[in-house]
Amino acid sequence: MQKDNKLFIINSGWSALFLFLSSCVFLFVLPVLQNIPLWGFRLCMSFVLLFSILSLEKVKKSFVFSGFAAVLLDWFSDLGHDSHFSHYLKILTFFFVLWTVASLMLKFLKQKDVEIHSLLEAINGYLLLGILFSSIVVLFNNFSPGSFQSAQGHPKNNDLIYYTLITLTTTGYGDVLPVTPGAKNLSMIIAVCGQIYVAFLVGVLVGKYIKKITHE
């Protein structure tokens, strides 16, 4: 008999709600607070990763363990001074969040009817996309200091998270700017991905709604 290598999470609805709340704290609350230590962002990110796992109904055990390992190693990296090791961990976290966004959207596509729970998962995918790109922007700025500039000079991580969300929504206030070719290319990718996600989501919602009306 073949063993099932997947975990079944019963309370995926509550996990999706907690994922939404923790993502909102990471994106909208922590960046506007003053003097938030780095461990505060790491703690909130750990909750985001945890609830990302739990919000999926079925996930492979190996990937669950990899996600928890990324969280633990990310915490332990603060104890050392190896910046390259910390960068590798951030890249691992990037791929983990990318996989989670893809899994949430695949789960959303498989659902026949549009419900509140499925809408929340779609919103979580967009917020996770913001977290994903904000991590890339911060990492890019660490690798190449001076890639972004603000009115106050060199932007902090809080400013870069804010900049990423503004770029993802293609609002673009202009108070934080990409100044190097690499930063400009990254900003264009973020803006295009944000629009593709919204257009894709609206298309799927309209399609499911029309299909529901047709059957009724």
pLDDT in tens, 66-78: 666 666 666 665 5
Gyration radius of the chain over CA positions: 18
Q: Give the H or E element holding residue 74.
A: helix 61-76
What are the tens digits of pLDDT across the range 135-162?
Answer: 889 888 988 888 999 887 788 888 999 9
The reported pTM is 0.80
- Rounded to whole angstroms, how far apart are CA atoms 111 and 213? 16
Average pLDDT for the chain:
78
Please report, rounded to a whole number, the percentage of residues in the chain having pLDDT higher than 70: 77
Alpha carbons within 13 angstroms on the beta-carbon side of residue 164 total 28
CATH number at 6-215: 1.10.287.70
| Measured CA distances, 130 to 79, 161, 169 (Å) | 28, 8, 10
Return the DSSP state at 153. B
